[in-house]
Amino acid sequence: MTESSRDARADALLSTAEVARSHRLKIFLGAAPGVGKTFAMLSAARELKRQGTDVVVGLVETHGRDETAALLEGLELLPRRTVNWRGRDFTEFDLDAALARKPAVLLVDELAHTNLPGGRHTRRWQDIAELLDAGIEVYTALNVQHLESLNDQVRRITGVTVRETVPDAFLDRVRDIVLVDLPPRELIARLKQGKVYMPETAAAALNAFFSPTNLAALRELALETIAGHVDSDLREHMLARGGAMPVRRHVLAAIDGHGQSDYLVRVARRIAERRGAPWSVVFVDTGAALDPVRRERLDAAMRLARRLGGESIILRGHVVADELLAHADREGVGQIILGRTRERPLARMLGISLTQRLLRRGAHMELTIIATPAERAQARLRLRLRLPGGRGSRGEYGFATLAILAAFGLSFAAERYLSVANLSLIFLTAVLVVAVRTRMAVAVYTAMMCFIGYNFFFTVPRYTLEIANADDVLAVTLFLVAALVCSRLATRLASQVESLRAAQVRARALLGLGQRLTASTDADGAREVGAKALARALGAEVAILARDAGQVLHPVATAPRSLALSPQDLAAADWCEQHAEPAGRFTDTLNGAGCWMLPLGVDDQRLGVAALRFDGANGEPDSDRRSLALAMVQDIGRALERARLADELESARVQGETERLRSALLSSVSHDLRSPLASMIGAAGTLLSYEEKLPADERRELLESILGEGQRLDRYIQNLLDMTRLGHGTLKLARDWTDAAEIVAAAVGRLRKLFPDLRVDVLMPADTVLLFVHPALIEQALFNILENAARFSPPGAPVRVSSQSLGERWLLEVRDQGPGIPEEERARIFDMFYSVSRGDRAPQGTGLGLAICRGMVGAHGGSVEALPGNGRGTTIRISLPLPSPPETPP
């Protein structure tokens, strides 16, 4: 470690120790009234009280808020002093009583307050400075609009000039600053509820100071203030620990006494505070007399600089640039800040303006040129007057000059063939061409040059600006009027064409995005479509980020290629998603990120973030591209919201269907298990009690009843097992070549055992039909259909079974003579546990038979459907594929 570095570290350690002793101020900073500064301050005080610290409330304004007043309970309150002012009694903070009590921590609200006449100090911050000098730690609250260096910005944002301000130099005594933040929407809601002002005052505040735009801007100012103090603390701590920090170079603001001087002083203060560097304001007196207004502005700017903690200096010399550079070299200035200079155009053309001299001779310094808000507004107005995509000023005037020369050349060539009046049409054409291609000022320049040349070269007497012929006077005058009017109309038309072209590009991009989003079926598809559309329309690299199961943001869709995101990008994306506000590049929030982060979502729904990375060479996107990006992101957010709602509806439908199935299953189990069990228990009990007394035929009948009910229970349990295997996809197919007639015969045989009196008509083709199926499963499916038909067939009515081969399919139809199934319920009879009294479910049915049948047949690549029975009954058709039969070995 070198001697200089040891000295720097020793100075930093001494400075840190001095800060620990003298910096006893803690400020609760807010963006606006009502965010909860006093509440947070009292909460912190109560925690200190709980830890045993001597805490006293010197002055707290509750503003009638009950929740704030409740926090005062249990805290010692310092009596206020009474002040009589204009015949009325008021209470104020008692500084002498606080000094006499001398607690460890004292709470004094409203730092920017102006004391009533009669006290030792005119401002409350001066009272607190005395308390700090006495070794008392002070907790206080402050709104950001009361900072002196931000006065201009606050007035520009809100239109209100804040009279009660606190010098920024006073904040140098701060040990801790706590940001008390509240989103604008919540603050406005509190205001409407009467928690900030009385209802009559709240209405006026909402229409003025408490607008969402004002609150958002003030919120950014509060965050910037906090960031500046954090940077300053970081520098001190790193120096104390021996960390390497850049040399603190002096910041110098040069003012001239014009209207922008105050603004430059405040900008210099903020820049110096962020850099942790000393700063000063300088004026170079060249001996020229200053008018009273300019002198007053200069004095006011110097006073402001001293109030903000800077040094005010007046230099004397004949050349401003020489004096500034000499002073900068003597004082080790690293940055010079100045406003836009007011030299004449000739000085700029000759390269002798103040700015140009400083740029040439001050290459080792950083030169910052600041434009005031008014100047920026004028620049934007001038920019809007230019056509989008137009060339620079020199190029436009060069193009106009070439057009003028071409018009003169054509006119000299056509002079012998055309009259003087007709020659004006050539010049008018040149004016129109220039007006369409450039801006209005260039078109007027062209019109005037053509007017002068037309008069000078072609009207009699020639080579003078006199006009001898009255007709020529009218022709020249009409030419000038027509040229000016046509240039204006052409310029306006070109501007409208550019606007329409931009609108068409925007509409085409939004239309294409909307069509693709409509075609996407889920959130993942919408993100893929959105990323590609954004990349194509904006010429940027795009990534759509969403949270995974662990609530971590990560890219889920990128275009045109994979986009690597840095930790700064991910931090900006996380902030953007949480606060539903843009962040990252081109914003004031985490702008160190390389991507522009835009939130995806509707209202309070957080559905991800769109990250856009533009080519660094192209700079910040213009307003049209920004507007298009925001509109497209909004459409993508709506599509994601629709997908989310669709998923929720599907989940609700599935949940409802699950609940219906659960109820149906419970009902079925309670009926189809208990009924056979009751019959079996009853028959078994009768046999047990009256076995010896019953005749043999009755005992046999009871035993057959027990057997039948047991078989019925076995079929029900088998159906449940089959349905479970189908639902889990564990049903294994043991395929084999089988004669279709054998499957039908086996199923009909099982049915006749269950319904001995039932008549079954079977019509099978004479030719053998081979099926490559699992025989037992197809037989079970056919049996379920036959059993269903048998239960609904009236006594004596037959059940007809027929089959045929149709192309590559084998069709089997089972027709009964029952009451039939309504058309609107035919598709639902294959759902689990679905039963209808008029359809193919008997009251004792489980509602599983046909569902199992469809599952078993579907596993073989077949289908089952219900057909009308030609006026009576129902026809169930099974369709199975017919593969090529196996080759017979020779």
Task: Report the C-alpha gap between 481 and 487 in whole angstroms.
Answer: 10
Q: How confident is the model at residue 822 (pLDDT cuts 50, 70, 90)?
A: confident
Give the tens place of pLDDT for each residue, 367-394: 888 876 656 555 555 544 444 444 446 7
Q: What is the mean pLDDT of the segment spanning 415-419?
A: 77
Residue 215 has pLDDT above 50, yes or no: yes
Torsional class of 427: left (φ above 0), alpha (ψ -120 to 50), beta (otherwise): alpha
Q: What is the mean pLDDT of the segment spanning 472-491?
A: 71
Range with the poorest average pLDDT among 279-288, 790-799, 831-840: 831-840
Q: What is the mean pLDDT of the segment spanning 162-183?
A: 83
Higher local confidence (pLDDT), 524 or 836: 524
Residue 3 has pLDDT above 60, yes or no: no
Strands 799-806 and 809-815: antiparallel
Residue 840 has pLDDT above 50, yes or no: no
Q: How confident is the model at residue 108 (pLDDT cuts 50, 70, 90)?
A: very high
Identify whether the C-beta of residue 808 lies closer than 8 Å to the C-beta of residue 881.
yes
pLDDT at 615: 81
Q: How confident is the model at residue 466 (pLDDT cuts 50, 70, 90)?
A: confident
pLDDT at 724: 63
pTM of the model: 0.40
Beta bridge partners of 527: none
Looking at beta carbons, which pairs linking 43-49 to residues 24 or more positions away fall under 8 Å?
43/71, 44/139, 44/178, 45/75, 45/105, 45/107, 45/139, 46/71, 46/74, 46/75, 48/105, 49/74, 49/75
pLDDT at 356: 75
pLDDT at 678: 79
Task: Report the C-alpha gap between 519 and 526 in whole angstroms.
Answer: 9
pLDDT at 623: 63
Q: What is the mean pLDDT of the segment spanning 651-657?
A: 74
Share of the chain above pLDDT 70, in %: 76
DSSP string, 592-630: TSSSEEEE--STT----EEEEE--GGG-S--HHHHHHHH
Q: How confident is the model at residue 841 (pLDDT cuts 50, 70, 90)?
A: very low
What are the start-end ranges of the H helices in 337-469?
Answer: 345-350, 354-361, 373-385, 393-414, 420-437, 440-458
User: CA torsion 796→800→801→806, rounded to 10°?
Assistant: 180
Residue 54 has pLDDT above 90, yes or no: yes
Q: What is the mean pLDDT of the segment spanning 676-694?
A: 80
Give the tens place of pLDDT for each residue, 591-614: 778 888 899 887 677 888 999 998
Residue 83 has pLDDT above 90, yes or no: no
Residue 836 has pLDDT above 60, yes or no: no
Q: How confident is the model at residue 499 (pLDDT cuts 50, 70, 90)?
A: low
Give the tens place of pLDDT for each residue, 695-738: 888 888 888 888 877 877 776 677 666 656 655 555 677 788 98
pLDDT at 843: 45
Task: Report the C-alpha gap between 209 and 437 in whole angstroms.
Answer: 45
pLDDT at 106: 93
pLDDT at 720: 65
Sheet holding 333-339, edge to edge: 311-316, 279-285, 250-254, 333-339, 366-370
Q: How confident is the model at residue 589 (pLDDT cuts 50, 70, 90)?
A: low
532: phi then psi, degrees, rounded to nearest 5: -65, -40
Task: Share the mean pLDDT of the chain.
Answer: 77
Of 355, 265, 263, which Cα lies nearest the Cα of 306?
Answer: 265
Helices (H), strands (E): how many in the chain?
27, 25
Burial letters 127-136, b for 16+ CB under 10 A, else e: bbbebbeeeb
Torsional class of 580: left (φ above 0), alpha (ψ -120 to 50), beta (otherwise): left
Three-state SS string over 793-828 comes to: CCCCCCEEEEEEEECCEEEEEEECCCCCCCHHHCCH
pLDDT at 63: 77
pLDDT at 838: 42
Of 128, 175, 129, which Cα lies nearest the Cα of 18?
Answer: 175
Of 861, 856, 862, which Cα lies nearest the Cα of 726?
Answer: 856
Task: Report the C-alpha gap between 225 and 219 in whole angstroms.
Answer: 10
Residue 40 has pLDDT above 70, yes or no: yes
Range with the poorest average pLDDT among 458-462, 566-570, 637-641, 720-724: 720-724
What are the start-end ranges of the H helices in 241-318?
Answer: 261-275, 292-307
Residue 207 has pLDDT above 50, yes or no: yes
Q: What is the mean pLDDT of the segment spanning 272-288?
A: 81
Identify whether the C-beta of residue 805 lies closer than 8 Å to the C-beta of residue 882.
yes
Burial letters 10-29, b for 16+ CB under 10 A, else e: eebeeebeebeeebbbbbbb
Of 406, 337, 396, which Cα lies nearest the Cα of 367?
Answer: 337
pLDDT at 141: 92
Q: How confident is the model at residue 230 (pLDDT cuts 50, 70, 90)?
A: low
Higher local confidence (pLDDT), 132 or 498: 132
pLDDT at 140: 93
809, two tokens:
């399919």
pLDDT at 384: 47
